[in-house]
Amino acid sequence: MAVYCGRHSLLFIGNKRTGSTAVAQALIEQLGGQYRPPKRHRVDERTVISKRHATVRQLVLHGLLEAPIDSLLKFSTVRNPFDSLVSLWTKLRHRPNRWSSRRVLLEGVDFLPWLKKRLLQAAPHSMHDEFTDGVDVVMRFETLEEDLKAVLARAGAPAVALPLANPTTERDADYHAYYDEEARALVERVFGGDLEKYGYAF
């Protein structure tokens, strides 16, 4: 999701499983922010820009912002890939999804077999770069409230209270317990770039 706050010249680029729903909700309800695009935007037969996961590049390329991009303080969020993958598995396994049959396919499938099957043949790639490309500030899920407070202060905007939105409650809080050595090595191979770039480790 992308949220534009014209009054404070802010553009938030939401990233998956990083607390983005809470940030977006706070910006909309407390600072007058608006989704960009406000709904699913069809560019042509092949290109659709999602309301939930628009990027800086898409917003600029298709003219979906009222203000020049350089006039906005742009920010996004990241999360430790080890933790994010546990969250993804939990959501796919425990939460109904009317757009996908993956939850049904994951019923009874433990984390390690799922992860190893998912990553064994995967080429190295980024979990976050699509959403952080072009932003000025990258916040961390692990210090989200503190980081958001600093971003808003930099923009001269008032602080906001982060709501509890879309929490993953069906898992242990500590992701370390889900991994064995093989799974850890797979994540380090596939998402090694993210671990190094964003300062994460197991």
The owner of tokens 């994460």 is 200
Task: Provide the phi-psi class of 7: left if phi over 0, else alpha when psi is between -120 and 50, else beta.
Answer: alpha
Q: Are 4 and 24 in contact (CB under 8 A)?
A: no
- Residue range 48-70, pLDDT digits in tens: 677 667 899 989 988 888 899 99
Q: Are 27 and 5 in contact (CB under 8 A)?
A: yes
- Residue range 141-192, pLDDT digits in tens: 999 999 999 999 999 999 999 987 666 667 777 999 999 999 999 999 999 9
Q: Domain 2-197 is of which CATH architecture?
A: 3-Layer(aba) Sandwich (3.40)
Per-domain residue ranges of the chain: 2-197
How far is it, in rounded angstroms, from Cα 117 to Cα 113? 6
